[in-house]
Structure 1
Amino acid sequence: MENTEKDLKELVRNKYSEIALQDKEDNQASCCGATGCSTEVYNIMSDDYTNLEGYNADADLGLGCGLPTQFAKIKKGDVVIDLGSGAGNDAFIARAETGETGKVIGVDFTEAMINKARANAEKLGFNNVEFRYGDIEHMPVTANVADVIVSNCVLNLVPNKDAVIKEIYRVLKPGGHFSISDVVLIGELPDALKESAEMYAGCVSGAIQKQAYIELIKANGFVDISVQKEKSITIPNDILAQHLSGDELAGYKDNGAGIFSITVYAEKPKDTDACCEPGCCN
């Protein structure tokens, strides 16, 4: 039976509740996060955060697939929203960019992650970083408040990506922008991978085609869209073998299909009419 959006979201929520209780080394062992499903060294997040100002090891669970804050053009005093903020890693790095005069709001729908992020913020003594429990398809944020939105390997986990893009548009100020790192596809994944709940909760099966991803952003009114960074992701054979037969695995490797991490930038037009209700911006 095909998973409903509600079922998939609950799967992700449960999986990332488990992940919140693990350390970074366990999470980096596989794209499946809370299940150590690979004997090969694998880390989808090959970028190194540790030298960035604002980095906090306790907030880094090794769950990202890019460095969106590095490309987000955050200025002092900006209001920044981090979608799927986890334990707070990207939010704290954004806080280093926006400074004490700015504000950072993290949104996550996993209570265990919110609790961990709030504890980290308290420990760091940050009074301009807050974490709100909520669904990024229905952000607990009023319209036209954010200068910048960042997100790191989260939209691929959301079944209704169009709803999230619409919410990003609603919440950004006219002239505001986003920088989002995410997982996309080029070519077709085997059905066994796309349909696997475990891979969905990991990082891959919820991903859509790169071109469709860009078109979705464009269709929702954003301008100046660009791919700031792109890198190929390699899933180890022992993970793939859990989902594919020998022939399917060989065919997948030969068909040229690929899984990529991209960081996408786009702006909300400056001359857009202000929104007051969710869904009014199209």
Structure 2
Amino acid sequence: MSNDAEARADRDPEAIREMVRERYGRIASSGRDGSDEVGVDATDDGCCDGGVADDGCCDGDADATGSERLGYDADDVAAVADGADLGLGCGNPKAFAEMTPGETVLDLGSGAGFDCFLAAREVGPEGRVIGVDMTPEMVSKARANAERNDAGNVEFRLGEISHLPVADATVDVVISNCVVNLAPEKRSVFDDAYRVLEPGGRVAVSDVVQTAPFPDDVERDPDSLTGCVAGAATVEALESMLDGAGFEAIEITPKDDSTEFISEWDADRDLGDYLVSAAIEARKPTDGA
């Protein structure tokens, strides 16, 4: 974000959180996902406009489900009962998180639970998955989905991702899918992720990153902020936040081809000029306190 946008966010982060909470509460209550809204404006449902492809948060390919358009495979989609897959996000953290049996996974902004249930398959019955979301409607929906999926090793907690309701040094991997950009205090998100990770634990986040300054009207638009656009930080800013939080082995890998679908998120401008999807990875040092 520009300095002006950062100043606005710093001035009233709770107002930003309330806008985000209201939007995603509406999505949870509607029972509709973000993948069938082809042609619907980004202000309605989902994290983007309709008609994008590959790893984006929507797609115009009628032969694929919403999450297949995000980079998940058909087996992933078939493995989770209806209701958890809202078609939201901008990538697939499972693809690079390298989760293994017995690990404890924390999902930031877990929504209706789709990524949590996939993580539960990776870590097995001896592992554990915790989803944290600040939207009460989403947490209620996710808990109902946990029963529907018979996911006894998954739990959902109401809370903010910058103030996680998770004990220190109890998590092996933190995942997230297009949620950190929505947080007005991103450094606090990474600080708290560092706190809850065990030494040697890791971050594996899919998110959008800013590649050029946004036009003023985008920065001022609340719908752009809550729609995974105006809240995106630059690669350099994210690297600085992760480093400042104490992480090492920081890797942020932009998906250059994602500009093809990001370009379709807004009918009035080419957002591919300003945004790209990226895989964000980092590790807590083995001697990290």
Q: Is TM (by shorter chain) over 0.5?
A: yes
8 Å Cα contact 1:29/1:36 also seen in 2 = no
8 Å Cα contact 2:42/2:223 also seen in 1 = yes
Q: Residue deviations 1:78-124, cap 9 Å, x none?
A: 00000000000100110010000000000000011111111111011
Alignment of 1:1-282 (within 5 A): 2=8, 4-20=12-28, 21-24=30-33, 25-26=35-36, 30=40, 32=42, 34-35=44-45, 41-42=51-52, 44-45=56-57, 46-53=69-76, 54-228=79-253, 230-231=255-256, 232-233=258-259, 234-235=261-262, 239-241=266-268, 249=269, 257-273=273-289
Distance (whole Å) between structure 2 residues aligned to residue 219 and residue 31 of structure 1: 37
Task: Call closer, same or farther: CA 1:33–1:144 in 2, change over 3 Å.
Answer: farther
Which amino acid letter does the alignment assign opposite residue 258 of structure 1? Y
Distance (whole Å) between structure 1 residues aligned to residue 195 and residue 169 of structure 2: 6
8 Å Cα contact 1:49/1:55 also seen in 2 = no
Q: How far 1:239 moved relative to its partner?
A: 3.0
Q: In percent, how many aligned pairs have the same letter?
A: 39
Task: Call closer, same or farther: CA 1:236–1:146 in 2, change over 3 Å.
Answer: same
Distance (whole Å) between structure 2 residues aligned to residue 128 and residue 16 of structure 1: 25
Q: Residue deviations 1:142-193, cap 9 Å, x none?
A: 1000001100000000000000000000000000001001111111111111
Which amino acid letter does the alignment assign opposite residue 32 of structure 1? A
Distance (whole Å) between structure 2 residues aligned to residue 265 and residue 189 of structure 1: 25
Distance (whole Å) between structure 1 residues aligned to residue 185 and residue 144 of structure 2: 30
Distance (whole Å) between structure 2 residues aligned to residue 80 and residue 142 of structure 1: 13
DSSP 3-state at the match of 2:162: helix
Count, aligned residues: 262
Which amino acid letter does the alignment assign opposite residue 207 of structure 2? D
| TM, length-normalised to structure 1 | 0.84
Greater radius of gyration (CA)? 1
Q: How far 1:229 moved relative to its partner?
A: 5.5
Q: How far 1:40 moved relative to its partner?
A: 5.5
| TM, length-normalised to structure 2 | 0.83
Which amino acid letter does the alignment assign opposite residue 22 of structure 1? G
Q: How far 1:226 moved relative to its partner?
A: 1.5
Q: How far 1:212 moved relative to its partner?
A: 1.1
8 Å Cα contact 2:252/2:279 also seen in 1 = yes
Where does the alignment leave 5 or more consecutive residues of structure 1 unmatched? 242-248, 274-282
8 Å Cα contact 1:40/1:236 also seen in 2 = no
Q: How far 1:215 moved relative to its partner?
A: 1.8
Bigger shift: 46-55 or 13-22?
A: 46-55
Task: Call closer, same or farther: CA 1:39–1:117 in 2, change over 3 Å.
Answer: closer
DSSP 3-state at the match of 1:138: coil
Q: Residue deviations 1:48-67, cap 9 Å, x none?
A: 42424444442111111011
